[in-house]
Chains A and B, each alone.
Chain A
Amino acid sequence: MKTVILFLIPLALLGGVIALFILTGGAGLDDKPAAPVESIDFERIQLHEGSITLTIRNTGQEPVNIGYIAIRDLVAEYTVRPSGGIPRMGAATVTLAYPWVEGEAYEILLFTANAIPFTTSIEAATETLPISLSTLLGFTLIGLYVGVLPVFLGIFWLPALRRLGPKAFTWLMALTIGLLIFLGIDAIAEALEKAGELGSPFQGPGLIGIGAISAFMLLDALSKRRAMANCDEVSTNERIALRISMGIGLHNLGEGLAIGSAFMLGEANLGMFFVIGFILQNITEGLGIIAPLVKQKPSLKYLGLLGLLGGGPAIVGTWLGGLVTLPALSVVFLALGAGAVLEVAFEIGKFIAKKSSTLPLTICSGVIFGMGLLYLTGFLIK
């Protein structure tokens, strides 16, 4: 009881200070900005014949009212739902009546009632996909092609890799580290880019930190608990393979998310060349998953599980990307993926460092080759 009271004393004092502030009108610090500070995020743009729908969020301090909206220098008629002012952190959908033309670019200028301008643009107008069964099937197909299929294809390397010696095994593990580090860097960069588009209350960099560190620490803690229970070599290798596929799975979730949202906006480059590039790049992910297993005989069921864990999240990612509109969520998922692949790289690093401090060049060349491999295959999809 005494402890509770001791804890409550500072809080009671804080209450007193706040009361003083309110009673004295800011205690001499009540300084209003010359112009109202307003902030709006454009979260989603949907185009349907004769109309453009903007999902906007008020990321400023005060409620926002829309004054007028001009699209390419034309004041457009619009409806807002919900009507009235948009509260802080509240979202609204604004539907403009505008006969947009396929392939044209549009600059949209939104003036709030306080005459503060915000702009967004459409690079090349095209009909937004409706949320329907066939759209979801399309997403699933994309996820299959860019995620599941390549990972499984990579797993088919297992019989060939099994013929290699212990040095090659270490090299392959090092290569996997290289792949994972590259994927991690890529995911962080993409998360930072997306975070830049978020309004300040979302604290994008903080979100990335929370996502990446959580994934890293959680996987680390899980691995330590498992390691205590079971520690023969076969199960250690299988455990590492499982965690590589989980890490890669989280990464593919983020990748699927990006493709899904681009596909929904009609901005996805899903040409043949692009899809082939994705298959090529993600085959290397399958290679990474099986690298720890080359010295043993895993069951087909187990390999199937690894493939699904590594590739399957790409499908879930495309759904989320297509259906979930909150950009902050994409940032979190990308950060989770980054933390996960980096933790797995860290784990494999500890694993091979223990065994192979005698092969420094093998490890060095493996890591560099792994990163280089993703860089080169990246040319096909960037």
Chain B
Amino acid sequence: MAILEDFDNGKVSTLPDGRTLREYWIVSEIMIVEVAPGVFYEAWTYNGRVPGPTIRATEGDMLRIYFTNATMHPHTMHFHGIHPGAMDGVFEPVLPGASFVYEFEAAPVGVHPYHCHIMPLASHISRGLYGTFIVDPKGGRPQVDREMVMVMSGIDLDFDNANDLYAVNFIPFYYDKHPIQIFIGERLRIYLVNMLEFDAVNSFHLHANFFDYYPTGTSLVPAEYTDTISQVQAQRGILEFSYQFPGKYMFHAHKTEFAELGWTGIFEVREKP
């Protein structure tokens, strides 16, 4: 649950010109993760977690991301957003032990991915070097009761460029074994990002309910009212919904193979006490 509802708003201060400055500290490090009973995988992480910290800011804020590479391989942080080329995290590999400061303005409004951009890219991404970057509009999005981050991905255990397991927030079946507890009438907002390597398309399906969908989160007006959406790699969006009835409701990729290989979770809905 730590990743699901954990937002890093940075260290906030005010610049001489009156703008808000947010500072974040990110370290790439290796972490051994038990992805299935007794199956351990060497993940490459930002701050010891996959997905990495959910970096959150408001449109127009100045961001400073202090990135240090504590692994044996070069890495970068490549943000989707609008920024100068030198801050794009592609041609400036951060060597083992070295640091780099990414500095840019938070733009545009929406939910975006960030990830490592070092060759071979498929390896660096599938190992776990990705995370979510949220830019709120000035004044924020409409108030909801709870906000969650879900990053869809896969795990290639045998390095044959094909996923063996699938998940949201990296651990297969995690929200299936630990259902997300919510109340009737609670308004939920999910920031959904697809970082799946090797497979062309991922999807999200919500059981016994419909949601408002904001592709990329760049608009405050929903583009669709549906119960299933698809995303290619790096596509993302915002889902808003609430449940009317108590019960257990699945959410999963509507690609049965992915769902049965780990990309499955449950909302457990109860009466508000």
Nearest-neighbour CB distance to chain A for B241, whole angstroms, equals: 37
Q: How far is the CA of A107 from the CA of B122 in the complex (A)?
A: 14
Chain B binder among A53-61, A97-105, A214-222, A335-343: A97-105
Q: How far is the CA of A127 from the CA of B68 in the complex (A)?
A: 26
Residues of B within 8 A of A101 (CB): 73, 123
Q: How far is the CA of A106 from the CA of B156 in the complex (A)?
A: 12
The answer to whether B158 and A72 touch across the interface, beta carbons within 8 angstroms, is no
Q: How far is the CA of A103 from the CA of B157 in the complex (A)?
A: 11
Beyond A99-B119, A99-B120, A104-B123, whether A72 also contacts B73 by CB under 8 A is no
Within 8 A of A (CB), among B56-76: 73-74
Residues of B within 8 A of A105 (CB): 158-160
Q: How far is the CA of A103 from the CA of B119 in the complex (A)?
A: 18
A122's nearest neighbour on chain B, judged by CB, is B159
Q: Which of B73, B118, B122, B159 has the most CB of A within 10 A?
A: B159
Residues of A within 8 A of B118 (CB): 99
How many residues of chain A get a CB closer than 8 Å to chain B's CBs?
Answer: 12
Residues of B within 8 A of A99 (CB): 73-74, 118-120
B120's nearest neighbour on chain A, judged by CB, is A74
Query: B209 an interface residue at 8 Å Cβ cutoff?
Result: no
Contact with A along B120-140 (1 / 0, CB 8 A): 111100000000000000000
The answer to whether B122 and A106 touch across the interface, beta carbons within 8 angstroms, is no
Q: How far is the CA of A101 from the CA of B161 in the complex (A)?
A: 14
Nearest-neighbour CB distance to chain B for A88, whole angstroms, equals: 33
The answer to whether A74 and B160 touch across the interface, beta carbons within 8 angstroms, is no
Residues of A within 8 A of B120 (CB): 71-72, 74, 98-99
Q: How far is the CA of A105 from the CA of B160 in the complex (A)?
A: 7
Q: How far is the CA of A73 from the CA of B120 in the complex (A)?
A: 9
The answer to whether A72 and B119 touch across the interface, beta carbons within 8 angstroms, is no
Residues of A within 8 A of B122 (CB): 72-74
Residues of B within 8 A of A74 (CB): 119-122
Q: How far is the CA of A105 from the CA of B159 in the complex (A)?
A: 5
Q: How far is the CA of A103 from the CA of B158 in the complex (A)?
A: 10
Query: How many pairs of A and B residues are in contact by the CB < 8 Å rule?
Result: 29
A104's nearest neighbour on chain B, judged by CB, is B159
Contact with A along B79-121 (1 / 0, CB 8 A): 0000000000000000000000000000000000000001111
Nearest-neighbour CB distance to chain B for A68, whole angstroms, equals: 15
Residues of B within 8 A of A71 (CB): 120
Q: How far is the CA of A106 from the CA of B120 in the complex (A)?
A: 12
Neighbour of B161 across the interface among A72, A98, A103, CB < 8 A:
A72
Q: How far is the CA of A105 from the CA of B122 in the complex (A)?
A: 14
Residues of B within 8 A of A72 (CB): 120, 122-123, 159, 161
Nearest-neighbour CB distance to chain A for B95, whole angstroms, equals: 12
Within 8 A of B (CB), among A89-132: 98-99, 101, 103-107
Residues of A within 8 A of B159 (CB): 72, 104-106
The answer to whether B160 and A107 touch across the interface, beta carbons within 8 angstroms, is yes
Contact with B along A65-91 (1 / 0, CB 8 A): 000000111100000000000000000
Q: How far is the CA of A106 from the CA of B121 in the complex (A)?
A: 14
Q: Which of B74, B120, B123, B161 has the most CB of A within 10 A?
A: B120
Q: How far is the CA of A74 from the CA of B198 in the complex (A)?
A: 12
Q: How far is the CA of A104 from the CA of B73 in the complex (A)?
A: 14
Residues of A within 8 A of B119 (CB): 74, 99
Residues of A within 8 A of B74 (CB): 99
The answer to whether A73 and B161 touch across the interface, beta carbons within 8 angstroms, is yes
Q: How far is the CA of A101 from the CA of B44 in the complex (A)?
A: 12
Residues of A within 8 A of B73 (CB): 99, 101
Q: How far is the CA of A103 from the CA of B127 in the complex (A)?
A: 13
Nearest-neighbour CB distance to chain B for A274, whole angstroms, equals: 24
Q: How far is the CA of A73 from the CA of B126 in the complex (A)?
A: 14
Nearest-neighbour CB distance to chain A for B20, whole angstroms, equals: 38
Residues of A within 8 A of B121 (CB): 74
Q: How far is the CA of A72 from the CA of B121 in the complex (A)?
A: 11
Residues of A within 8 A of B123 (CB): 72, 101, 104
Residues of A within 8 A of B160 (CB): 105, 107
Nearest-neighbour CB distance to chain A for B74, whole angstroms, equals: 8
Contact with B along A15-44 (1 / 0, CB 8 A): 000000000000000000000000000000
Nearest-neighbour CB distance to chain B for A96, whole angstroms, equals: 11
Contact with A along B127-170 (1 / 0, CB 8 A): 00000000000000000000000000000001111000000000
A72's nearest neighbour on chain B, judged by CB, is B161
Q: How far is the CA of A74 from the CA of B158 in the complex (A)?
A: 17
Nearest-neighbour CB distance to chain B for A216, whole angstroms, equals: 44
Q: How far is the CA of A73 from the CA of B74 in the complex (A)?
A: 20
Nearest-neighbour CB distance to chain B for A72, whole angstroms, equals: 5
Q: How far is the CA of A71 from the CA of B123 in the complex (A)?
A: 12
Contact with A along B34-63 (1 / 0, CB 8 A): 000000001000000000000000000000
Q: How far is the CA of A344 from the CA of B123 in the complex (A)?
A: 54
Q: How far is the CA of A37 from the CA of B44 in the complex (A)?
A: 44
A103's nearest neighbour on chain B, judged by CB, is B42
Q: How far is the CA of A72 from the CA of B158 in the complex (A)?
A: 12
Within 8 A of A (CB), among B183-242: none
Q: How far is the CA of A73 from the CA of B160 in the complex (A)?
A: 10
Nearest-neighbour CB distance to chain A for B41, whole angstroms, equals: 11
Known: A105-B159, A107-B161. 12 other contacts (CB 8 A): A71-B120, A72-B122, A72-B159, A72-B161, A73-B161, A74-B119, A74-B122, A99-B120, A103-B42, A104-B123, A104-B159, A105-B158
Q: Which residues of B contact A (CB under 8 A)?
A: 42, 73-74, 118-123, 158-161
Which 3 A-B residue pairings sit nearest by Cβ, starting from the closest? Answer: A105-B159, A104-B159, A74-B120
Between A and B, 26 residue pairs with Cβ closer than 8 Å are: A71-B120, A72-B122, A72-B123, A72-B159, A72-B161, A73-B122, A73-B161, A74-B120, A74-B121, A74-B122, A98-B120, A99-B73, A99-B74, A99-B119, A99-B120, A101-B73, A101-B123, A103-B42, A104-B123, A104-B159, A105-B158, A105-B159, A105-B160, A106-B159, A107-B160, A107-B161
